[in-house]
Structure 1
Amino acid sequence: MKNILLLTAILSGTCAFAQEKAKSDTVKTKSIEGITLTKQVFKKQSDRFVYDVAASPVAKGNTTFDLLKQTPLLSTTDDKTLKIAGKNNALIYINGRKTNMDAESLTQFLKNTPAENIQKIEVITVPGSEYQVESSDGIINIVLKKKMSDGLNGNMRMANTQNKYNSSSASFSANYRKGKLGISANLNGGENIQPQSYILRNGTNMVKNESVGDIDDPNKYIGGYINADYQLNENSNLALSWNTSANKSYNSTIDLLNTLTKYDNNGNLISTDFTRSKNRENSRSYNNSLNLNYELKLDSLGSKLNVNAAYLNYKRFQYSDNNTLVPGPLEDFSQHGKKIIQDIPQIINNFSGTVDYIQKFKKDLTFSAGGNFNKTKTDNDSKNYTYSYDENGNQTELKPDFNHFIYDENIYGVYVTLEKKFSDKFSGKIGTRYEITNSIGTADNPQNTNPDMQHQKIVRNYNNFLPYLSFNYVINDKNNISYSFSSRMRRPSFWELNPVRNIITEFNYTQNNPFVKASSTYNQELTYMYKNSYFLILNHSLFKDVITQVPLQRKIVENNIEYQQLAYIRTNFGTKQEMSAMVGVQKSFFKQYLTTNFNIGIQHNINDGTLNTDPTTGQVFDTYVNNTKSTSLIIQTNNTIRLDKKKTWFFGINYFYVDKQQIELGMLKNLMSLDLSIKKNWNDWTFALNVNDVLRTNIVEIEDYQASGNYNFVRNDQYRRGMTLSITYNFGNQKVKKIRDIEAASDDIKNRTR
């Protein structure tokens, strides 16, 4: 059921300083953590912010995800994904390499990696040309401690969460090193029911639709990884990584009561009709990736050659039974009005390779060059069966609709960067990427009455030149200023290209689009820091051909009944600008009894888009216009209070507030959440209790009025208020050296499977 309602996925890229609920295939617990910090806890270096985290009893028993939530410029509002201030997404790197995991496995990794392993966290708000990122994505680089002795260590963790339903999770991880060989492994699993409550309203002053009800999505998941790293000699290493995950979501349900109300020109009620949408879905997904890495150190200055080869296989099978029920003789919705059965599989295969060459010179000069290649094939063989019924509930028609969509894509990329430290105060970096994208999408739909639509071939070939520039100037010991500019592409995810229609109710559906093209993004950022504790960040992002979901409406007459149809169309939608200004502080007070991270900022959105036709079907709707501007206040604060001298008891208070702002779907109303936690460290054990969204205010509401008179309203409650109890045990020799974490060549492709 995760792909049926995609409204909250839109929000994931709209809040600049706090992230909205999105793709719900990842994480579960939320704990707030105190940290003992080094003297310079937060500082600006060349192209990144650095947050130093020393080993301390405060970090003991905490997870990497919890620690990241406390890092300046990072935030989470769904306890599932992380967001960098002013950026659409946060990509996770470990020791300078992108993590070799899909989204779900990555979150489990962060939730089950001990914070004691971390030396520092780097936040790269504007990545350089050497990074394979899209749109305005930023990077979180986790730098692990180097531990030199041989041996075995690891941790076990169990957690139980109670919100509307109860859920549980468990994980086991271990690290082993013997001489030149290092092995790490993780196994995690759990089960939960992801609840949602919806109110959907749309229509005009004469015809109004309302759907109210619940969505329950039960999940059982298991995943893990094995990484092996072998030092061939003093200068070269070979590593092999395998990541796997599986998710089973059977008996997901949508249960909505639909009300169709009609009025005359004078506003008098004509009629009220009721139907019920009862949809049931079974889905399962599998994700496996294999990566081989070779690294060669070329000299003592840090020059090196890095080569990666990877294979990714992703499979998702989705079967849904969507029913529109009408009142029977007893008014009990026992009679079928319409049934739509959907079988929507997706298979993705990807072969990838990357080469990176870094040459360091003695006069603080670094030259980097490299390239990447990605070959991807997606296979989507969708089948729809629509059953119609008469007034007595007898089946009158069966309408099959088959669509076999195959998408082939080849991406070639090369980059060059030059970084120079001109003096102790001034440094700069310049670079560029050149990317070539060739793709062919073929769609076979033999049932289409239009011969031109029975077999379609969509060919896209485009080249992109993507420059990058940054500089950093240290004014004096207390003041630092930096500037960055970058340009990026945002390619559509593979599920966005599959021209499938997902049914919500009889009146509402979502439509994907094989004609979506890549969008362009231009980012600028100016940063000022004072005493490595106080900062000001000014950001501007321009998005062209924005890939988004647009709500289109039109009048429909079916079985002599007129109603207002609402379709969420995936397409390119005009341009958008986001401008933001944020001030913040990261500091400890009262001999580190209180650690606070406080940000407050203003974001200004400018939207400019118009659409009236579904590019996939050619159907014409009423024109939808979004040329509205909005200015929003955003506040985020994380506070940790140490309760005793022995550093064993900690109390946490987190709060965020996002003012209302205009997004593609309409006006997103304000969001806020207050989270509390208490934690106890006892020897190798850690016990934590977390209460999220105490005030139950983290609920999404979107409202839109069009000049044509069309109205659309969405209220989505995902029951964020909940309580989590977790127990963590660390075992073994804590001085074990962590093995190298390797960036997979296919990681940028994995991000598009979500």
Structure 2
Amino acid sequence: MKAQILIASLFFSGLIFAQETKTDSANTKNIEAVTLTKQVFKKESDRFVYDVSNSPVAKGSTTFDILKQTPLLSTTDDKTLKIAGKNNALVFINGRKTNMDADSLNQFLKNTPAENIQKIEVITVPGSEYQVESSDGIINIILKKKMTDGTNGNMRMSSSANKFFSNSASTSINYRKDKLGISANLNVSDNIRPQTYDLRNGSNNASTSSIGNIDDPNKNVGGYINADYQLTDNQNLALTWNTWFNKSYDSRTDLFNITKSLDNDNNTVTNYSLTKGRENAKSANNSVNLNYEWKMDELGSKLNLNASYLNYNRKQSSTNQTIASDIFQNVGLISREIKQNQPQIINNFSGMADYVKKFKNDFTVAVGGNYNKTKTDNDTKNDTFDYTYNVDGSIKDINITPSPNHFVYDENIYGAYLTLEKKFTEKFSGKVGTRYEITNSLGTSDNAQNPEYARIKRNYNNLLPYLSFNYAINDKNNISYAFSSRMRRPSFWELNPVRHIITDNNYIQNNPFVKASSVYTNELTYMFKNSYFLILNHSYFKDVITQVPLQREVVKDGVKYQELRYIRTNFGDKQEMSAMLGIQKSFFNSYLTTNFNIGIQRNVNDGYLAKDPTSGDMFNEFINKSKSNSIIVQTNNTIRLDKKKTWFVGVNYFFVDKQQIELGLLKDLMSLDLNIKKIWNDWTFSAGIDDILKTNIVEIETKQADGTYNYVKNNEFNQQVKVSIVYNFGNKKVKKVRDIETASDAIKNRTR
């Protein structure tokens, strides 16, 4: 169920090697064929470069598999990629951001062969020219250049099994003839996302425990068509269309609730109930982008123009029932039923212009701007049915409480940037830049229960400076520094003031008053022999956007109950300080290739909330002024079994120590993964098992000074067996279609 999944997604916001997601929000397109033998990792100016062009590991692998092997990149949920110390990783192809939402990105990465990758660039602190938010880092995939006309492609089929079986298949085709290039991709998947929850909260007087399952079936169809036409030797025109459709019908939440409360005589009363949630949802995401590129001289000066249109349409209806029960979970009478209809429509028009001028003295000036106009329409219907019964069990009365809310959000963003980059000597280079952004927004509600929702207007400006330098001390030693300031605007779903029901006394509340947060990052990097590195990072987050569990005792029919609301809001400030040592190296004549990172992270939280900003209701104080030091270990190893480079074994492991995040104490996470791969001509067969020890399970615990507590245990069944078959066909030298950053990318990331 989408609402409940949101809880788990934010558990990882403070991790160095964490999940959540996004590849919001980040995205990728098709990648084809590769052969590997040698892996080189080095520091260049403002980025790390991982050369995978000669390594056999990529053949038959997916793009997602290769990215997991890249130094500084990791995942704890096998869904989203993270850069060390970053809350999100945006995926670019050939310097241009891809244009897919989070779900489609994940499917493309896992269904697209990686055999066309030349190298992978990891930009931990992006410059002012990039439209990124918060502490986002960038993964830039550089594809091999292929000049021959013709057609090629690949087909992939894969299956996996945890609690349920999942299947996926994809086909990619590339065609080039003279000045015209066309590429297309289609992928389909069918899966059920299983989860189990153990939710507990309470105080000295009252408590609630909810234990049960969530099963979310999904059918996905996605694809794209890219057309690139060379107008002249220096001018190109490209048209891109991306589409993604998801259908999730009969998602089920089944929780068994134990509620302990006090009556008027202060006697403990224990009640048992069942929560049964059913949800149907489907969404469609379509975008089109027109790009014009003019290469103005041999030095690399160029002009880039983009215009995009994006439409996102989601329909979602759900029913949540609270049913009386006994200790043995025998079903009784329905006491409350909540029916919700939560459609969302997003329309966006975006324009972007970039001009880069390069001079002969190794001096580069880049200037550009962007404009985004977005309208979201959320017409929510919420009806609550309270049942009363006669002695014989027949329905006596049904009290219906309607709660409609039509919330419309309009936003205009204007941005401009300037960067200056200079290579002073062969050893020393520097870059300075700034981005200026103006945001005007208006949220209106036709029938808001809270009068403050009726009209929420926000206008704010941000100046975001950037600075970096890189110094190659000698052939073996390199040092670099970067400073960046960024902001994170709330996603559109966070602003929509709807309520997602978990149980009768436990729900999630979105918040239209959430404001943008800011982050300031300093990073110092030292690299030795292009194999060993040390990264020191400090990030300061102001007005952190997160989900806060507020609790209070409420009285119903003379009985005290414990109410819990997860409120989406700004929750104080935090600091993250980290030091990471890493190695990327091959041993024993390349029979063993290892990527190993070990680091320590210190989290300092400073948050306080006692008032529900969406209603004004007062709660017990939720205070998080905690600090923690934690160790993080990650290693990815590839073992070659034969001289012909046709058999490979992979051994991957990560450990994330317990640490304090905004919600409380996140307990340690760990996973051991094994896989084996066989390459046979144009065929590749692979099999593997993830999370062999079943240790990748989220647990968060919060305790307050007043005695209130909150505990969440979430198992997403990360242990799974996976098998896949890949076949490559056609002319392997077909030149790829240009991959284009679209003007609406920054907006699409916020639909996730």
* SS at 2:110 equivalent: helix
TM, length-normalised to structure 2:
0.96
* SS at 2:109 equivalent: helix
Q: CA deviation at 1:208?
A: 1.2
Measured in 2, the distance between the counterparts of 1:271 and 1:148 equals 76
Matched, 1:289 2:291: no
* SS at 1:116 equivalent: coil
Give 1:110's aligned residue.
109
Measured in 2, the distance between the counterparts of 1:18 and 1:595 equals 23
Of 583, 603, 606, the match for 1:605: 603
Give 1:88's aligned residue.
87
The alpha-carbon distance between structure 1 residues 96 and 557, as it changes in their structure 2 partners (threshold 3 A), is same
For 1:666-692, what per-residue CA distance to the aligned partner results, in whole angstroms no more than 9, with x for missing partners?
Answer: 100000000000000001000000100
Does structure 2 conserve the Cα–Cα contact (< 8 Å) formed by 1:200 and 1:210?
A: yes
Measured in 1, the distance between the counterparts of 2:106 and 2:500 equals 27
Q: CA deviation at 1:180?
A: 0.6
Q: Aligned residue pairs: how many?
A: 743
Most deviating of 133-142 and 199-208: 199-208
TM, length-normalised to structure 1:
0.96
Measured in 2, the distance between the counterparts of 1:317 and 1:514 equals 20
Give 2:332's aligned residue.
334
Matched, 1:589 2:587: yes
Give 2:186's aligned residue.
187
* SS at 2:706 equivalent: coil
Q: What amino acid is the match of 2:283?
A: S
Give 1:305's aligned residue.
303
Does structure 2 conserve the Cα–Cα contact (< 8 Å) formed by 1:8 and 1:22?
A: no
Give 2:544's aligned residue.
546
The alpha-carbon distance between structure 1 residues 375 and 443, as it changes in their structure 2 partners (threshold 3 A), is same
The alpha-carbon distance between structure 1 residues 473 and 545, as it changes in their structure 2 partners (threshold 3 A), is same
Measured in 1, the distance between the counterparts of 2:274 and 2:480 equals 57
Q: CA deviation at 1:115?
A: 1.7
Q: CA deviation at 1:556?
A: 1.2
Does structure 1 conserve the Cα–Cα contact (< 8 Å) formed by 2:256 and 2:329?
A: no
Give 2:401's aligned residue.
399
Measured in 1, the distance between the counterparts of 2:113 and 2:746 equals 26
Matched, 1:145 2:147: no
Q: CA deviation at 1:103?
A: 1.9
Matched, 1:632 2:634: no
Counterparts in 2 of 1:401-420, with a 5 A limit?
Answer: 401-420=403-422
The alpha-carbon distance between structure 1 residues 20 and 373, as it changes in their structure 2 partners (threshold 3 A), is closer
Q: CA deviation at 1:57?
A: 3.7
Counterparts in 2 of 1:515-534, with a 5 A limit?
Answer: 515-534=513-532
Measured in 2, the distance between the counterparts of 1:504 and 1:394 equals 26
Measured in 2, the distance between the counterparts of 1:475 and 1:199 equals 54
Of 442, 445, 453, the match for 1:443: 445
* SS at 1:88 equivalent: coil
Q: CA deviation at 1:79?
A: 1.2
Counterparts in 2 of 1:392-541, with a 5 A limit?
Answer: 392=390, 393-445=395-447, 448=449, 452-453=451-452, 456-541=454-539
Q: What amino acid is the match of 1:12?
A: F
* SS at 1:535 equivalent: strand
Does structure 2 conserve the Cα–Cα contact (< 8 Å) formed by 1:11 and 1:22?
A: no
Q: What amino acid is the match of 1:2?
A: K
The alpha-carbon distance between structure 1 residues 372 and 309, as it changes in their structure 2 partners (threshold 3 A), is same
Q: CA deviation at 1:391?
A: 4.2
Q: CA deviation at 1:190?
A: 1.2
Give 2:30's aligned residue.
none
For 1:492-525, what per-residue CA distance to the aligned partner results, in whole angstroms no more than 9, with x for missing partners?
Answer: 0000000000000011100000000000100110
Q: CA deviation at 1:22?
A: 6.9
Measured in 1, the distance between the counterparts of 2:19 and 2:328 equals 46
Q: What amino acid is the match of 1:457?
A: R
Q: What amino acid is the match of 1:546?
A: V
Does structure 2 conserve the Cα–Cα contact (< 8 Å) formed by 1:26 and 1:80?
A: no
Does structure 2 conserve the Cα–Cα contact (< 8 Å) formed by 1:519 and 1:545?
A: yes
Does structure 2 conserve the Cα–Cα contact (< 8 Å) formed by 1:555 and 1:563?
A: yes
Does structure 2 conserve the Cα–Cα contact (< 8 Å) formed by 1:534 and 1:584?
A: yes
For 1:361-380, what per-residue CA distance to the aligned partner results, in whole angstroms no more than 9, with x for missing partners?
Answer: 00110000000000000000
Measured in 2, the distance between the counterparts of 1:720 and 1:138 equals 25
Matched, 1:577 2:575: yes
Measured in 2, the distance between the counterparts of 1:746 and 1:178 equals 29
The alpha-carbon distance between structure 1 residues 690 and 739, as it changes in their structure 2 partners (threshold 3 A), is same
Q: CA deviation at 1:550?
A: 0.3
For 1:252-289, what per-residue CA distance to the aligned partner results, in whole angstroms no more than 9, with x for missing partners?
Answer: 011000001247999x9722110110010000000000
Matched, 1:383 2:385: no
Measured in 2, the distance between the counterparts of 1:475 and 1:331 equals 69
Measured in 2, the distance between the counterparts of 1:312 and 1:227 equals 16
Give 1:127's aligned residue.
126
Does structure 2 conserve the Cα–Cα contact (< 8 Å) formed by 1:292 and 1:309?
A: yes
* SS at 2:207 equivalent: strand
Q: CA deviation at 1:613?
A: 1.0
For 1:728-753, what per-residue CA distance to the aligned partner results, in whole angstroms no more than 9, with x for missing partners?
Answer: 00000000111100001000101000
Q: What amino acid is the match of 2:436?
A: Y
Q: What amino acid is the match of 1:14?
A: G
Measured in 1, the distance between the counterparts of 2:23 and 2:57 equals 31
Measured in 1, the distance between the counterparts of 2:435 and 2:67 equals 29
For 1:165-205, what per-residue CA distance to the aligned partner results, in whole angstroms no more than 9, with x for missing partners?
Answer: 01101000011111111111000001111000000000012
* SS at 2:749 equivalent: helix
Q: CA deviation at 1:616?
A: 1.1
- List alignment gaps of at least 5 residues for structure 2: 28-32
Give 1:42's aligned residue.
41
Q: CA deviation at 1:12?
A: 3.4
Most deviating of 139-148 and 8-17: 8-17
Q: What amino acid is the match of 2:736?
A: K
Does structure 2 conserve the Cα–Cα contact (< 8 Å) formed by 1:112 and 1:173?
A: no
Does structure 1 conserve the Cα–Cα contact (< 8 Å) formed by 2:436 and 2:464?
A: yes
Does structure 2 conserve the Cα–Cα contact (< 8 Å) formed by 1:5 and 1:510?
A: no
Measured in 2, the distance between the counterparts of 1:630 and 1:330 equals 41
* SS at 2:493 equivalent: helix
The alpha-carbon distance between structure 1 residues 135 and 97, as it changes in their structure 2 partners (threshold 3 A), is same
Measured in 2, the distance between the counterparts of 1:566 and 1:23 equals 30
Q: CA deviation at 1:330?
A: 11
Most deviating of 360-369 and 613-622: 613-622
Q: RMSD of the alignment, in Å?
A: 2.0
Measured in 2, the distance between the counterparts of 1:714 and 1:651 equals 36
Measured in 2, the distance between the counterparts of 1:630 and 1:406 equals 41
Give 2:366's aligned residue.
368
For 1:637-657, what per-residue CA distance to the aligned partner results, in whole angstroms no more than 9, with x for missing partners?
Answer: 000000011000000000000
Does structure 1 conserve the Cα–Cα contact (< 8 Å) formed by 2:416 and 2:435?
A: yes
The alpha-carbon distance between structure 1 residues 376 and 3, as it changes in their structure 2 partners (threshold 3 A), is same
Give 1:254's aligned residue.
253
Q: CA deviation at 1:219?
A: 0.5
Measured in 2, the distance between the counterparts of 1:482 and 1:205 equals 53
Measured in 1, the distance between the counterparts of 2:421 and 2:381 equals 53
Give 1:661's aligned residue.
659
Measured in 2, the distance between the counterparts of 1:596 and 1:23 equals 25
Give 1:705's aligned residue.
703
Q: CA deviation at 1:457?
A: 0.4
* SS at 1:110 equivalent: helix
Give 1:690's aligned residue.
688
* SS at 1:58 equivalent: helix
Give 2:212's aligned residue.
213
